[in-house]
Amino acid sequence: MKIAKSGAELINICEENHISLSEYAIAREMESKGLSRETLFSYMHSTLSVMREAATLGREKEVYSLSGLIGGDAYKLQQYLNSGKSLMGSATIKAMAMALSASEVNGSMGKIVACPTAGSCGILPAALLTAGEELGKTDDELVQALFASSAVGMIIGMNATFAGAEGGCQAECGSAAAMAAAAIVELMGGTPEMSLNAAAIVFKNILGLVCDPVAGLVEIPCAKRNASGAISALATADLVMAGVASKIPFDDALAAMYKVGRELPKELRETALGGVAITPTGLKYKEQVFGKDA
Amino acid sequence: MANVGVFDVLGPIMIGPSSSHTAGAARLGKIARTIVGKEIKEVTFLLHGSFSKTYKGHGTDRALVAGILGMNPDDARLRSSLELVKQQGIKIEFVPTDLGDYHPNTVKFLIKDIDDVTWEILGSSIGGGLIKIDEINGNKVNLTGEYPTIITSNEDVPGTLAKISGILYDAGINIASMKSDRSQKGKESTLTFELDHEVPLEVVEQIKLIQGMNHVITINPVGGPNNENC
Ligand code: SF4
């Protein structure tokens, strides 16, 4: 099979071969790595189970990061969810709790899947697992959806970047949410084109988001950006399944993201020299963790 | 990234929080352990640049020690390595310092092995969990830990390089890259070969027999690398 270099090519290949995004990713990986379908699936199942553990641990008990800057919030949300008082409904609260959990687990030196990065490790698990629970999907179907997310991720990786140091948080949390939205659309029965519409809308909505980690640690504002990214993915999947299309196609949205990312001053690209990192409070946290002269 | 695969995007599975400060650090520790190749009694970690300033917040100290204990970057025990190393009776010390003009995430290991031989190994975590080892006992090497590697220290006898290449060629092993370093001309020289296949023991034995050969280190890949991330 041809290797898709852009979103448009990806849609064409899928249409010509009458396959889904996930089947494209599976076929490509089998071809390039010489692996069997069974091997790929068993590896993806272990990936899913690490994701699920990370998205669960912080909801069952309070998990704190090594620095102590973040923690306990996934647990709070889970309690709130159990109280039944939420405004937005259980799926939304659950997704945020899962995303925070994975971020807290990451900060605590727990096991996570960098998807695509460690900083954004909560978004895809939270959005996908929530959608799976709401729709009553099996683990096999979720694994299939993970392959779909990777089909979009590969196009992002080939044409732009996942690194906050290069493209700001839009490249990390934005890519994670775009991949998640695309995967959920496939999980809900949408076409490859609809999946890419969802990814495009996510990128447009997160365009310009800077990377400004307090004390250089992947904690503040990262954990809450994972919660917000997960919600963005779920909401956008609904938008697209209702029949709404992106007026700007995926490839344009991706190119815009990359260009904006490179235009960001270096202070706003993971250097911890801008944004919330250098607010008086951000600097106070930094001193608290690393002392005065760090 | 030119060619991106499924598990470059969804992976690696790792212990957080940071691929360069945690996962990369664990790989550096593990490769240092492999280079020494003997039981370890003492390690002093000279931490440079960002490592020296932020090692506690990122768990770089725990990751380095975990690597010294032989753990991979996805080992759940990584978090408790500082306690484990105590139990094993290995003495460790962290010294934030300025090593000079090196990558910001650099560490120099000063290791004393069971025979009281001292090793100096310098390496950097260069992003996304990728690493490189630049110096072993003052000799420049070129080691990423992604390929099986042979490092030799030998008297600077003409023809040594050709002899080693010949042995590898006869064994059907491709050389991916080669670096030679002669810090002092006519004295000892260090050769680093990164290879496409793991090296069988008998090939290593053959290389050891080459005239003037003082030391041969073999290293097989240490855990997988991955994509760029925070
Ligand atoms: S703010 Fe920066 S470090 Fe934090 S998640 Fe976003 S890109 Fe990663």
Minimal-distance CA residue of chain A relative to B81? A109
Tell me what the mean pLDDT of segment A203-208 comes to.
98
**Cα distance from B103 to chain A (closest Cα, Å)?**
15
* pLDDT(B186) > 80: no
What is the per-residue pLDDT across A229-241, written as a single tens digit (0 to 9) for each?
A: 999 999 999 999 9
Residue B45 predicted with pLDDT over 90: yes
Residues of B in contact with A50 (CB under 8 A): 13
Label the pairing between strands B40-49 and B91-97.
Answer: parallel
Return the bridge partners of B106, or none.
B48, B124
- For residues A174 and A260, the answer to whether their CB atoms sit within 8 Å is no
Contact status, residue B18 vs residue B63, Cβ threshold 8 Å = no
Tell which atom from ligand 1 comes closest to the C-alpha of A210: 1
pLDDT, mean over chain B: 89
Residue B180 has pLDDT above 90, yes or no: no
The pLDDT of A60-77, averaged and rounded, is 97
pLDDT (average), residues A279-284 = 98
Query: Mean per-residue pLDDT for A183-188?
Result: 98
Of B28, B14, B53, B10, give the one whose Cα is nearest residue B130: B28
Supply the pLDDT for residue B10: 95
Is A112 within 8 Å of B13 when comparing Cβ atoms?
A: yes
- Residue B217, pLDDT score: 87
Q: What pLDDT, on the 0 to 100 scale, is given for residue B13?
A: 93
Residue written as tokens 């090593």? B99
Of A39 and B189, the one with more pLDDT:
A39
Half-sphere exposure (Cβ direction) of B66: Cα atoms closer than 13 Å: 26
Sequence-distant (≥ 6) Cβ neighbours of residue A111 within 8 angstroms: A50, A53, A54, A105, B13, B14, B15, B16, B74, B76
Name which residue leads in pLDDT, B2 or B7: B7
Non-local CB neighbours of B39 within 8 Å, separated by 6+ positions: B113, B114
Q: What is the mean pLDDT of residues A40-52?
A: 97
pLDDT at position B142, please? 81
H or E segment and range at residue B93:
strand B91-97
For residues A256-274, give the mean pLDDT. Answer: 94
Q: Which two tokens stand for residue B129?
A: 């969990």
If DSSP codes are grouped into helix, strand and coil, which group holds residue B216? strand
Residue A13 to chain B, least CA–CA distance (Å)? 17
B185 pLDDT tier (thresholds 50, 70, 90): low
Residue B227: per-residue pLDDT: 34
CA of B203 relative to ligand 1 center, distance in Å:
47
Rounded to the nearest angstrom, the distance between the alpha carbon of A144 and the centre of ligand 1 is 27
Token duo for residue B102:
């090196």
Q: What is the DSSP letter of B12?
A: -
Of A119, A179, A294, the CB nearest to B229: A119
- Asked if residue A137 lies in contact with residue A175, where contact means CB atoms within 8 angstroms, the answer is no
pLDDT of residue B19: 86
Q: Is A264 touching ligand 1 by the criterion CB < 6 Å?
A: no
| Residue ID of nearest Cα to ligand 1 atom 1 | A211
Residue B2, token pair as written in the block: 């030119």
The verdict on a CB contact (< 8 Å) between B227 and A116 is: yes
Distance B123 CA to ligand 1 centre (A): 26
Is the per-residue pLDDT at B2 higher than 70?
A: no
User: What is the layout of strands, in order, in the sheet containing B188-195?
Assistant: B175-181, B188-195, B149-155, B213-219
Residue A248 and residue A233: Cα distance in Å, rounded? 17
Calculate the CA dihedral of residues B23, B27, B30, B32 and round it to 10 degrees. -130
Lowest mean pLDDT across A62-76, A127-141, B150-164, B184-198: B184-198
* A32/B contact by beta carbon, under 8 A: yes
Over residues B163-191, the mean pLDDT reads 85
Q: What integer is the mean pLDDT of A263-282?
A: 95
List chain A domain ranges. Answer: 7-290
Residue of A63, A147, A218, A226 best to disrupt the B interface, most CBs of B under 10 A: A218
For chain B, which domains are there?
Answer: 10-137 (3.30.1330.90), 149-229 (3.30.70.260)
Residue pair B173/B197 in contact by the 8 Å Cβ criterion: yes
Whether residues A111 and B228 touch (CB distance < 8 A) is answered with no
Q: What is the pLDDT of residue A72?
A: 98
The tokens of B49 are what?
């640049």
Distance from CA of B99 to the nearest CA of A (A): 17
Residue scoring higher pLDDT (A285 or B225): A285
In DSSP notation, B173-201 reads --EEEEEEE-SSTTSEEEEEEEESSPPPH
Contact between B4 and A149 using a beta-carbon 8 Å cutoff: no
* Ligand 1 proximity of A213 Cβ (cutoff 6 Å): yes
Residue A103 CB–ligand 1 contact under 6 Å: no
We find that the CATH architecture of domain A7-290 is Orthogonal Bundle (1.10)
Best substitution site from A175, A228, A270 to test ligand 1's pocket, by max atoms within 8 Å of Cβ?
Answer: A270
Calpha distance B152→B215 (Å, rounded): 6
Check CB contact of B12 with chain A, cutoff 8 Å: yes
pTM confidence score: 0.88
* Whether B9 contacts chain A with CB within 8 A: yes
- Cβ-based neighbours of A148, under 8 Å, separated by 6 or more: A20, A21, A22, A25, A182, A183, A186, A187, A195
Per the CB < 8 Å rule, is B57 touching A289? yes
> What is the structure's pLDDT at B67?
97
* Shortest distance, CA A157 to any CA of chain B (angstroms): 6
Contact B16 A108 (CB under 8 A): yes
pLDDT(B230) > 90: no
SS3 B94: strand
What are the structure tokens assigned to B26, written together? 């664990």
pLDDT at B229 over 50: no
CA-CA distance, A129 to A118, in Å (whole number)?
Answer: 18
Banded model confidence at residue B189, pLDDT cuts 50, 70, 90 = confident
Confidence category of residue A214, pLDDT binned at 50, 70, 90: very high
Query: Considering only CB atoms, which chain B residues are within 8 Å of A219?
Result: 17
Measured from the Cβ of residue B101, the count of other Cβ atoms closer than 10 Å reads 6
Q: What is the ipTM of this complex?
A: 0.95
Residues 147-206 of A with CB under 8 A from B: 147, 149-150, 153-154, 156-158, 161-166, 172, 179
Pocket of ligand 1 contains residue A214 by CB under 6 Å = no
Q: Write the pLDDT tens digit of every residue in B76-127.
A: 999 999 999 999 999 999 999 999 999 889 999 999 999 999 999 999 998 7
Q: What is the mean pLDDT of residues B38-64?
A: 92
Interface size A-B, in CB pairs within 8 Å, comes to 163
Q: How many CB atoms are located within 10 Å of the residue B1 CB?
A: 18
Task: Tell me the pLDDT tens digit for each residue of A70-129.
Answer: 999 999 999 999 999 999 999 999 999 999 999 999 999 999 999 999 999 999 999 999
State both tokens at A133: 């629970």
Which residues, 6 or more positions from A99, have their beta carbon under 8 angstroms from its beta carbon? A55, A122, A123, A125, A126, A127, A223, A226, A227, A229, A230
